[in-house]
Amino acid sequence: MTRIVLHEVGPRDGLQMEKQVVPTDTKEAWIRRLMAVGVDIVQVGSFVHPEKVPQMADTDELFRRLTADKTSAAVLSGLVLNEKGLERGLACGVEMFCLGASASETHSRKNTGMGSHEATQRIVAAAKQAVTAGRKVQVSVQSAFGCGFDGPVPEHRVLDMVRAYLDAGLKSISLADTAGHADPAQVERLFGAVFALDPTVECTCHFHNTYGVGMANIFAAMRVGVTSFETSFAGLGGCPFTKVAAGNVATEDFVHVLHRQGQRLDVDLDLLISIARDVAAHFGRDMQGYVHRTGPIAAKELA
């Protein structure tokens, strides 16, 4: 059985839409607990302008704190959208750079101030610099399955961006459903087309649950060979620059399903649930995830 890779993006994608800025000490405590859960990668934050995304203003400081005395095996990732962000990430100890450009022209301009083609070229150049610096690198196609502004995104645009990444020697590639428009058939078709370009590509998927099909899309991706998944504790999330922002598939929900299938039993589901409950208490509202509210199906019930 192929090992599933879990990339927790809650500290970045989960918090970037929140109006209530989370204190740095609180974020650090949540991230340290996430690092102890047993997930493979934790996305600490993004290197964006603090006026545009105030929640990410302390990303550099968080990386400095978390890497200073690190003993966890979890890789610490950070999102970068331009060269300046790469410089900041290299300076503060980012272990894995996630660099992305959008296949939607409107979303690209709202998110980066550039069109898709220019953004892709700059991301490729920055990714090569990160590789040269000896860091892990993942590149992504945002709005790969549709856009709240532009509607359907032609699949050839997505595949052209994937080709640009592959031509640059970048083989860890994520397709992100930024607007939550994906459906399972589309997911299987598009990831299948990516694997047809290069069967050795390391594919990751990132699904927002805007219309309630995020988990179904995850398993559609799994059916065609995707093994790496980005999810968010408590189902938090949403891009500030998309039309209808909604959360990600909840990490604890996904891990709960994996446990029922006998996969990733090394991940501490109880700790994940406790983090989600603490996050819900911090914000004082119900979160989008399910299992932190219902509780998991007990092992004895599965026997």
pLDDT in tens, 112-159: 778 888 889 999 999 999 999 999 999 999 999 998 888 899 999 999
Per the structure block, which two tokens stand in for 38? 């047993």
Q: Which residues contact 15 (CB under 8 A, 6 or more apart)?
A: 22, 27, 55, 56, 236
Distance (Å) of CA 79 to CA 46, 57, 126, 181, 194: 4, 13, 12, 22, 22
Burial label for 132, CB within 10 Å (0-12, 13-18, 19+), is: exposed
Band (303; pLDDT cuts 50, 70, 90): very low
pLDDT of residue 39: 98
Band (239; pLDDT cuts 50, 70, 90): low
Q: Walk me through the domains of the chain, giving residue ranges and CATH numbers.
A: 5-302 (3.20.20.70)
pLDDT of residue 242: 47
According to DSSP, the β-strands at 41-46 and 136-142 are unpaired
DSSP 3-state of 41: strand
Q: Which residues contact 61 (CB under 8 A, 6 or more apart)?
A: 24, 92
pLDDT of residue 300: 54
**Cα angle, residue 93 at apex, residues 90 and 95 outer, rounded to 5°:** 95
How far apart, in whole angstroms, are the C-alpha atoms of residue 11 and residue 1? 29
pLDDT of residue 194: 98
DSSP 3-state of 137: strand
Question: Mean pLDDT throughout 226-244?
Answer: 77
Band (301; pLDDT cuts 50, 70, 90): low
- Tell me: pLDDT of 261 over 60: yes
Q: Which residues contact 18 (CB under 8 A, 6 or more apart)?
A: 55, 236, 283
Choosing from 92, 147, 205, 239, the catalytic residue is 239
Asked whether the whole model's pTM tops 0.85, one would answer: yes
**Cα angle, residue 230 at apex, residues 224 and 231 outer, rounded to 5°:** 120
Report the sign of the C-alpha dihedral through residues 44, 46, 49, 51, in that order.
negative
Could you tell me where the beta strands, DSSP code E, fall in the chain? 5-8, 41-46, 75-80, 96-102, 136-142, 172-177, 202-207, 228-231
Burial label for 233, CB within 10 Å (0-12, 13-18, 19+), is: buried
pLDDT of residue 246: 60
Is 203 among the catalytic positions? Answer: no
Distance (Å) of CA 6 to CA 104, 211, 267: 26, 22, 10
Question: Mean pLDDT throughout 56-82?
Answer: 96
**Highest mean pLDDT: which of 113-122, 223-232, 237-246, 287-296?**
223-232
Band (253; pLDDT cuts 50, 70, 90): very high
